[in-house]
Amino acid sequence: MKFSANLGFLWTELSLPDAIRAAKSCGFDAVECHWPYDTAPQDVSAALRETGLQMLGLNTARGDVAGGDNGLSAIPGREAEARAAIDQSIAYARAINTPNIHVMAGFAAGPQAHATFVDNLTYACTQAALLGITILIEPLNHFDAPGYFLTTTEQAMQVIADVGLPNIKLMFDCYHVQRMEGNLCDKIKDLLPSIGHIQFAAVPGRGAPDQGEINYPYLFKAIADLGYEAPLGAEYKPMGATEPTLGWMTKKT
């Protein structure tokens, strides 16, 4: 099993290029991030070339964070902002050779929000396809992100079906899915053809995967047995320095 360090949570005290180098030194096979836009893409590319790691994914900008935004693409009336964020993410992904972009829905509800999300995702997929980039959508649990538009895998699969384009996939975050739905092994098996990336963290605390209620060694083996070979994303909050939390990596399958 291969693992990707999510640098939105790991090594946050370092610059993004130095966090990439730290991930390499600790044995990660790839990296991913949240919002890299304050870092010059040439600096990120240099660190990726130096380490031989790939940046697997990044997120679209959240919008006005101080005003409460957590994504824009499902919010009716803000299509221009949402598409500007999509364009920004595609340009950055192209500059650093990133194959996946997570388009964030934001806080919204109802049929109009669904239609807006589908329209913006159709735009994102069409633009991303020109560069061979996959668009990801991720359900977030309503305990951590109350009011977020996308909350379950069932809802996500309906969105994917309504977009109907080949380069939209599900970001399956084990932490969020466990908190909302449970039954992780069967869900991953059933949804595998539509999964573009898998992330993980302990439940309920969102710490390292060697704590909490999920038996991650068992789950990692089950995923490997399904033939899934891409790196799994370690998107957990280390509650301090990152290196002391990495003991779980010695249990790679």
Active site residues: 138, 235
Contact 202, 175 (CB under 8 A): yes
Which letter, b or e, does each residue of 34-59 get, where b requires 16 or more Cβ atoms within 10 Å of its Cβ? bbbbebebebbeebbeebebbbbbbb
pLDDT for residue 250: 81
Which one-letter amino acid corresponds to residue 192? L
Are 181 and 151 in contact by the 8 Å Cβ rule? The answer is no
Phi, psi of 76 (to 5 degrees): -60, 140
In 3D space, the residue among 204, 117, 109, 103 whose CA is nearest the CA of residue 147 turns out to be 109
Domain ranges of the chain: 3-251
Please report, in tens digits, the pLDDT of each residue of the chain (253 residues total).
999 999 999 999 999 999 999 999 999 999 999 999 999 999 999 999 999 999 999 999 999 999 999 999 999 999 999 999 999 999 999 999 999 999 999 999 999 999 999 999 999 999 999 999 999 999 999 999 999 999 999 999 999 999 999 999 999 999 999 999 999 999 999 999 999 999 999 999 999 999 999 999 999 999 999 999 999 999 999 999 999 999 999 864 4
Cβ of 218: how many Cβ atoms within 10 Å?
12
pLDDT number for residue 89: 98
Residue 251 confidence (pLDDT): 64
> For the structural domain made of 3-251, what CATH number should be given?
3.20.20.150
Instruction: Please tell me the distance from the alpha carbon of residue 220 to that of residue 147, in angstroms, as a whole number.
Output: 31
Give the up-direction half-sphere exposure of residue 49: CA atoms within 13 A in the CB hemisphere. Answer: 8
- Cβ(187)–Cβ(181) below 8 Å: yes
Residues 6+ apart with CB under 8 A from 170: 136, 137, 138, 153, 156, 157, 160, 191, 194, 195, 196
Answer whether 0.95 is exceeded by the pTM. yes
Nearest to 237 by CA among 194, 196, 202, 210: 202
